[in-house]
């Protein structure tokens, strides 16, 4: 640890990497390599880490990601059961229909866990990077859903509008995501060079922009259908010196890796939980900009 930690009231978002690979090879994926060697993966250690950190920040958000959290429903059930109802819980998934699970199995599992899940973020893209099930599944889910779409390759406005309207029958909100490997502190809020933003403004009705030090979110409407455009830095720690001259590492995300280890950033930085327990809390700096 280089500096004492600071984070927002309630605690940093805890992202848990499920110990199961997905069957996909998205060109923008930064997690895939970690699933090449599964020998150190441990569900038991992940569960222990979830219990430890939620006891310290009993109101933080949890995000289950991967790999593919729905690749093993029995394990996901155990992870969901380890998170008390004081937390918001998000699942990043492709809604896979794998060999051992049918669509009915997946729908049944998610609906049975409705009270434990805040939202399911489903990966769908302008190009078919992931194995996609039937879109009708959105009409069967009782849990709130959102489509996450990473904009990669060509993203002509008419293609984005067609994509938005594909999900309109179920009124599933869409979050377009910029390729964050290209996002920097200098261009995070810059609009002059942002072609995606220009194109979205040409086809959708802008409603608001909110953001913080590390990420921002433009919101739009297509009729009553909600669409957003999300930009984030490729790391989640900001180092800042406060008015008293004390320097802190400000954490936005804490990670639980596939082997149960804690990391303080997406860039491979290990974190000692005892150091995190000394964290200083500050008000969340997410605010509405227009």
Give the chain's end-to-end CA distance (angstroms, integer). Answer: 37
Task: Map residues 25-44 to x or -, x wherever contact with ligand SF4 holds by CB under 6 A.
Answer: xx--x-xx------------
Q: How far is the CB of 138 from ligand SF4 (least distance, A)?
A: 18
SS3 category, 239: strand
List the Cα angle 173/103/140 in 5-degree steps.
45
DSSP H/E element including 79: helix 73-81
Shortest Å, Cβ 240 to ligand SF4: 31
Copy the structure tokens of residue 44.
Answer: 């038991």
How far is residue 173's CA from residue 152's CA, in Å, rounded to a whole number? 19
CA–CA dist 149, 133 (Å, integer)? 16
CB of 22 to ligand SF4, least distance (A): 3
Burial 172-181 (b: 16+ CB within 10 A, else e): bbbbbbbebe
Interface region with ligand SF4, contact rule CB under 6 A, candidates 23-31, 81-89, 140-148, 242-250 = 23-31
CB of 21 to ligand SF4, least distance (A): 8
Span of 20-28, 105-113, 192-200, 275-283 interacting with ligand SF4 by CB under 6 A:
20-28
Is 95 buried (19+), middle (13-18) or exposed (0-12) by CB count in 10 A?
Answer: buried
Taking the least distance from each CB to ligand SF4, the nearer of 180 and 276 is 180
Pairing relationship of beta strands 253-256 and 13-17 according to DSSP bridges:
parallel
**Nearer Cβ to ligand SF4, position 25 or 288?**
25
Query: Degrees (nearest 5) of the Cα angle 4, 8, 11?
Result: 85
Residues 61-120 that bind ligand SF4 (CB under 6 A): 66-67, 94
Chain positions 119 to 138 lying near ligand SF4, rule: CB under 6 A, are: 123, 130
Q: CB under 6 A: which stretch of 19-27, 170-178, 189-197, 234-242 binds ligand SF4?
A: 19-27
Window of 24-32, 110-118, 154-162, 199-207 that interacts with ligand SF4 by CB under 6 A: 24-32
Distance of CA 14 to the CA centre of its chain: 10
Give the binding site for ligand SF4 (CB under 6 A). Answer: 22, 24-26, 29, 31-32, 66-67, 94, 123, 130
């Amino acid at each position: 640890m280089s500096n004492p930690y600071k984070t927002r009231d309630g605690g940093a978002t805890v992202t848990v990497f499920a110990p199961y690979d997905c069957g996909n090879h998205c060109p923008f994926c930064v997690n895939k390599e970690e699933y090449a060697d599964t020998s150190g993966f441990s569900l038991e250690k992940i569960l222990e880490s979830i219990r430890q950190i939620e006891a310290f920040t009993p109101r933080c958000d949890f995000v289950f990601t991967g790999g593919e959290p729905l690749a093993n429903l029995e394990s996901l059930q155990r992870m969901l059961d380890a998170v008390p109802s004081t937390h918001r819980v998000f699942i990043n998934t492709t809604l896979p229909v794998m060999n051992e699970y049918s669509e009915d199995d997946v729908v049944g599992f998610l609906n049975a866990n409705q009270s434990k899940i805040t939202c399911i973020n489903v990966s769908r893209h302008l190009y078919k990077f992931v194995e996609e099930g039937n879109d009708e599944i959105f009409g069967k889910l009782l849990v709130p859903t959102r489509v996450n779409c990473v904009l990669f390759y060509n993203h002509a406005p008419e293609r984005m509008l067609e994509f938005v309207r594909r999900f309109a029958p179920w009124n599933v909100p869409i979050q377009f995501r910029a390729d964050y490997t290209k996002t920097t502190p200098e261009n995070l809020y810059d609009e002059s060079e942002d072609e995606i933003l220009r194109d979205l403004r040409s086809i959708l009705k802008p409603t608001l922009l909110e953001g913080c030090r590390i990420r921002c979110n433009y919101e739009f409407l297509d009729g009553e259908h909600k669409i957003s455009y999300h930009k984030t830095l490729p790391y989640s720690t900001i180092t800042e010196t406060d008015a008293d001259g004390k320097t802190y590492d400000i954490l936005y995300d804490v990670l639980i890796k596939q082997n149960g280890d804690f990391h303080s950033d997406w860039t491979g930085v290990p974190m000692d939980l005892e150091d995190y327990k000394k964290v200083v809390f500050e008000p969340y700096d997410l605010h509405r900009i227009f």
